[in-house]
Amino acid sequence: MSSDERSQSTDAHGHEHHDVEGPGYPTPAAMRTESDREKTAFVMSLRVGMDVDGPDLVGVVDVDPESDTYAELIDTVEMPNKGDELHHFGWNTCSSSCHAEGLTRDHLIVPGQRSSRIHIIDASDPRNPVIETVIEPEEVFEHDLSAPHTVHCVPEGKIVISMLGNADGELPGGFLQLDQDDFSIDGHWEADLGDMEMNYDYWYQPRHGVMISSEWAAPETYYPGFDLDDVEAGKYGDSIHIWDWETKEHQQTLSFGEEGLIPLEVRMPHNPEETEGYVGAALSSNILRFWEADDGSWEWEKVIDINNREHEDWDMPVPGLVTDLLLSLDDQYLFFSNWLHGDVRMYDVSDTGNPRLVDQCWVGGNFADRQEVDDREVRGAPQMLQLSRDGRRLYWTSSLFSSWDNQFYPDIGERGSLMLKADVYPEEGRLELDEDFVVDFGDAPGGPARAHEIRWPGGDCTSDVWQ
């Protein structure tokens, strides 16, 4: 039995003294303090837009420092087709269902962003995951949806996936719902779209009956790559949407305008009592805070702004391009990446409306002095982030999206991307690059790959929601 399997067992036994029977942990504090250290990582790895004529894969990375294969890609699950563009993925169930008997966190839901194909992977043995079934694109298109993105398990025995386009790759998008038992498609999650057209990421707080979704663009807009003319033509998002979780109805739109162009990842506190959160606006390169006002409406403010920087190879100032963010399980620290600048930042958000920068780590990108780690050239910059459950290790990958990689960091398209790590010292508010941890997906079996989102067996701070 692997250490990750033991961690799953720990989840089950840990519930006995909390009087809960389902998967995951009864509280964020329990996940943070009672779980074992991560031993393996699942990493989305794709070959779309590369010279390699091969399918995308889910990589299994050894992150156990006591292992002989530490910081190595120890297994891969190749997709049965080419051209999927694996991007984001999630679990069949998580801590939101910790009171539901008979559920086990043992399957990964792995969508293809370009293909709209959805793969169901049995990950009950974390070091030997296998594809169990595949939902073909035609089944998705029947519901006039395409381009799956964020996967969340929800307490009602369902899985909800944000969809960025209709069957033709145009607007509007929506939300696809799967059944947790047999992974069949139920249809749309939403009862109505209201004035939402663009979609991207989402988070929900079931205790308060609210869901928040963000915007990117229509698949037909972002698939070919980034074009500033599309921004000027209003083809990229600038808003987030408030939904009633119970009725599944659209309630309110918060429009940011120039202050919030391309708002991507949404994060709400893990404390289920809270009704606020953050969204990172990629092109505007800032962090926006949103919250529920006393009258039940939602409001927003800009709390962090990243200045554009001049670069001799650019004919315009370079935005930071905030592409991912996360909150630690104790909700004390906010981490986010500036993919074009080349840094990952750590903010103390104990005072949620006044984030305080405590440290940052510069590696790769257009401005970092550090362009090599352990004699490996850093291709790209910090992008997708994942934090250890105890909040002491921050991992990241350096690829964003195939066509965007090829525009801004063409070396990724030729030689693959990297997975790196920084040690976190929360008591001191400090980050320190781990010089010995480099996973080069340029060495992946079958040829180079682009590493993207990261998940831990047993759950993590970007997949688990609490009631």
The pLDDT confidence band at residue 274, using thresholds 50, 70 and 90, is very high
- Tens-place pLDDT, residues 196-239: 999 999 999 999 999 999 999 999 999 999 999 999 999 999 99
- Tens-place pLDDT, residues 344-373: 999 999 999 999 999 999 999 999 999 999
> Is 148:117 a contact under the CB 8 Å cutoff?
no
Q: Which residues of 205-221 are buried (b: 16+ CB within 10 A; e: fewer)?
A: bbeeebbbbbbbbbbeb
The pLDDT confidence band at residue 431, using thresholds 50, 70 and 90, is very high
Find where tokens 């966190």 sit.
105
Average pLDDT over residues 4-27: 52
C-alpha closest to that of 399 among 386, 413, 179: 413
In this model, does residue 11 exceed pLDDT 60? no
pLDDT for 276 equals: 98
Separation CA 100–CA 103 (nearest Å): 7
Average pLDDT over residues 147-165: 95
Q: Which has more confidence, 297 or 53?
A: 297
pLDDT for 14 equals: 34
Average pLDDT over residues 444-455: 97
The pLDDT confidence band at residue 20, using thresholds 50, 70 and 90, is low
pLDDT for 23 equals: 82
The pLDDT confidence band at residue 8, using thresholds 50, 70 and 90, is very low
> Is 338:320 a contact under the CB 8 Å cutoff?
yes
Average pLDDT over residues 440-448: 97
